[in-house]
Amino acid sequence: MNAIYILWLRQLIRYFRSKSRIIGSLAQPLLFLIALGFGFGPIYTKAGGGNYIQFLVPGIVGMSIMFTAVFMGIEMIWDRKFGFLKETMVAPVSRFSIMLGRILGGATVATLQGVLVMIISIFVGFRLDNWFLVIPAVVVMFLIALIFTTLGTAIASIMEDMQGFQLIINFLIMPMFFLSGALFPLTGLPPAVTAIALIDPLSYGVDALRGILLGASHISMPLNIVVSLGVWAILLGIGSILFAKMEA
């Protein structure tokens, strides 16, 4: 338990000490909110979809969490290259505890990033009728963060160079983002696209956020949560096997 707490705290300290990283990671979500929100807003409204900013914000929050969480794997490769990971691995604690501490720390950082994006979205025009809904929304954000931090950690466990990691991650997460319904509704899509969207774990997280914040869930809320928890459990199992076999 102490190892998990220490690694979790280390991730948070890293995050708050890097002000340039915080600012830089907010640039992409802000660009999407402004460019897409105001660019496609009138078209979305004319098509009868309502306020596009309202629809877009949960998707951009989910995107921000996913990108921040999955790229936490780079930190593990960095620690592996410079020897910190080796020092951690020889400690008298289980490798699962080490992995879990890193995952929880990365997920907390990614969740904080999502909260910051939501705060910024208020200045872009996002409105909530009931701000108490932010509490369950943060829980869903943390669940999204857990999924993608675990994914990033599992992939980083079998890779040794950051360039290769970035290529594989971009190959995975860009389709996940664009097919998750973050930018457009999942209703009325071709069957093939709908099928792909339904195997995308981000789809369930974004839909859960919309259901909580806007009351506009496309998939049932219990199914969103169950699938998200199931995906995380599977990734955690795979990640623990890969992490246990990794050579520091």
22-69 pLDDT tens trace: 677 788 888 888 888 888 888 878 777 788 899 999 999 999 999 989
- The predicted pLDDT at position 76 comes to 80
pLDDT value, residue 135: 93
Q: HSE (CB half, 13 Å, CA atoms) of 78?
A: 7
Q: Please tell me the predicted confidence (pLDDT) of residue 37.
A: 83
Q: What stretches in the chain show pLDDT beneath 70?
A: 1-3, 5, 8, 11, 15-22, 83, 86-87, 90-91, 247-248
H helices of the chain, where?
2-17, 19-39, 41-46, 52-70, 72-82, 84-89, 95-124, 134-156, 162-178, 191-198, 201-213, 221-245
Model pTM score? 0.90
pLDDT of res. 108: 92
State residue 248's pLDDT score.
58
Residue whose structure tokens are 């620690």: 79
Would you state the pLDDT for residue 247?
A: 67
